[in-house]
Structure 1
């Protein structure tokens, strides 16, 4: 999924003198306060962190009314930074004729309004459940619980809300794209097996013409090749 990135940052955490005895715990608490909030400096929502280096001895006392001290550290951050036209994935939690509501990564909400749903999808009530069904593929259905891929229109950084779109052709239910990919791979496998079988049959016939094997051996091998081919196709 797009929108996720790992960034290495050199930070300075400022602590109150009362935290000097257990600076490590205080630093972890400060970093935890960044989680699931948007940071303009980091240009993303902090989802996780991993401290690479921490040097308490390099801490510097700041001058001022209260002498806070700063502790430098290097940290890897997992950031969520959705931009327009990026492709995100989420789970449908609510669906109506007017909109589809999605949760992304378990914390960010997204909405796709009716005007941003391509004409391929038709709203229906199927088995007493609201769904958007594709007119071009009967298996392509979006309903509550469906994992979908959608395009980003905009992102409200203050409330972590995404406005999405299903207008691009490659958006919709993730399940259908997995199904189509699997079906395509099966088709390629069948074609490869068929060509392999036809190639073996041609080799047997040519060897018989060249006198490398007897007519009886040729007939038996050709018969076995045809039998294998029938079994594979069935």
Structure 2
């Protein structure tokens, strides 16, 4: 899934002197307070971290309260979805006008009616709601379905995603994994067949327009032929 990245960082954690007895716990507590929040410093939402704690790299800072800074190396798992990225999440609610999704268990996403492609039609049977494709009858989206969707925008303050199901490669992940591999081949066959039909139609029209004569696509060559014929006729 896009939107996830691992980044290496050299951090300086500032601690109160009262926490000097157990620096490791203080560092972990400070980093844990940043989890599942968007950080401009990290350019993403911090999901997890792994740090190498130093033994003696600390520096006292001057001031009324002499905090000390601890330098450490860390690896950070960050989440920052951007427009046109592909994400996956679990459907938690369905309405006739929208699909509500949770991504990675903490970020909410919504796909509005105008961003759901026309082939999906809302249905409600026996108290259960779902969207069903009119093209592929077994392609359903229900509560609990893992869906793949495109990011339109991301609100960094409330961690809310606006998504889209307009592209053909979006929808129920389980269904897509079974059938998406068949699409490129079928689409290429369709394109090839259409190209052949258009080529044959063009040739037939050219034959009719030129009384059965064929000519080269090279325009300079055809111009020379036409000039030669004019000179012979004159």
TM-score interval, smaller chain = 0.7 to 0.9
Cα deviation digits, residues 2-49 of structure 1 (max 9, x gap): 000000010000000011111111001001111111100111101001
1:131 aligns with 2:130: yes
Q: What's 1:26 paired with? A: 26
Q: What's 1:213 paired with? A: none
Q: What's 1:5 paired with? A: 5
Extract unaligned runs of 5+ from structure 2. 184-234
- 1:38-117 alignment to 2 at 5 Å? 38-51=38-51, 53-117=52-116
1:149 aligns with 2:148: yes
Residues 48 and 89 of structure 1: CA distance in aligned 2, closer, same or farther (over 3 Å): same
Cα deviation digits, residues 214-234 of structure 1 (max 9, x gap): xxxxxxxxxxxxxxxxxxxxx
Contact 1:56 1:71 in 2 (8 A): no
2:56 match: secondary structure: helix
1:16 aligns with 2:16: yes
**TM-score, length of structure 2 as denominator length:** 0.76
User: How many equivalent pairs are there?
Assistant: 183
Deviation beyond 3 Å, 4+ runs, structure 1: 181-184
Distance 2:144 2:163 in 1: 17
Distance 2:69 2:45 in 1: 23
Distance 2:48 2:60 in 1: 28
Distance 1:65 1:118 in 2: 61
- 1:167-182 alignment to 2 at 5 Å? 167-180=166-179
Distance 1:98 1:178 in 2: 26
Contact 2:169 2:180 in 1 (8 A): no
2:2 match: secondary structure: coil
Distance 1:44 1:81 in 2: 5
Contact 1:23 1:56 in 2 (8 A): no
Distance 1:48 1:54 in 2: 16
Contact 1:121 1:135 in 2 (8 A): yes
Cα deviation digits, residues 82-114 of structure 1 (max 9, x gap): 000000000000001110000000110000000
Q: CA deviation at 1:181?
A: 5.4
Distance 1:85 1:92 in 2: 20
Superposed CA RMSD in Å reads 1.4
